[in-house]
Amino acid sequence: MIVVENWGLIEYRAAWERQREYVRHIQQGVRQSTLVLCEHPAVITVGRAGTFRHVLCSPEELAQRGIDLVETDRGGDVTLHNPGQLVGYPIFDLMQFRADLHWFVRTIEQCIIDALKHWGIVAGQVPGLTGVWVEGQRKICAIGIRCSRWVTSHGFALNVANDLQQFDCIIPCGIPDREVTSMERELGTAVAVSEVASVVADVFKVVFGRGHLQKP
């Protein structure tokens, strides 16, 4: 069984610290595997495989646009979070599921693909690239995880109705020749993050075991 928590709109560093706390508790056996869903104020994060060369805006311009910049310990390169994007942190003990990081990332991708079907969005995986893509060209969901003693943290960022213009400040995931898209852009109509969160949570519960929604 997994637990699902919705942290609402939360500053990135605060969410990162809470994740570390949850990881410790799961490793100690005092907390169940937990899927956290939330949104972040505008922030660019640089992962362990990333480089600040993929951040295209100067610190002064980022400050003017209200975009924070954080070097983090997840896998992957550079990405951006902002309101209207559903961020998911599956903080899971993989020993309870399958001790295989490749399987875990592919399974997260499939969960997002299945959730998008609810809106008629056809998305898929691209061999050699992480994330979820529309027509193999437009990234709608980025993924970057960390694993410590088989307990995972960080996770996915699904673009629902966020400001895609802010992605002009980065080379998303270090891939210069592919677009970033959102559910709203693909559908041409407004989409509520809360509705997407509910569907995504239901898919994760089915795939990783029945859970129940809790508020922290």
Tens digit of pLDDT at every position of the chain (216 positions): 899 999 999 999 999 999 999 999 999 999 999 999 999 999 999 988 878 888 999 999 999 999 999 999 998 889 999 999 999 999 999 999 999 999 999 999 999 999 999 999 999 999 999 999 999 999 999 999 999 999 999 999 999 999 999 999 988 777 777 899 999 999 999 999 999 999 999 999 999 985 544 544
**36 close to 7: Cβ distance less than 8 angstroms:** yes
**Confidence (pLDDT) at 124:** 97
**32 close to 26: Cβ distance less than 8 angstroms:** yes
**Confidence (pLDDT) at 210:** 58
Name the phi and psi angles at 145, rounded to 5: -125, 165
Report how far residue 154's alpha carbon sits from residue 74's, in angstroms, rounded to the nearest whole number: 6
**Structural domains of the chain ordered from first start:** 3-214 (3.30.930.10)
State the catalytic residues: 173
**Confidence (pLDDT) at 28:** 97
Report how far residue 53's alpha carbon sits from residue 55's, in angstroms, rounded to the nearest whole number: 5
**Confidence (pLDDT) at 172:** 78
Amino acid at 96: Q
Angle between helices 101-116 and 193-208 (to 10 degrees): 130
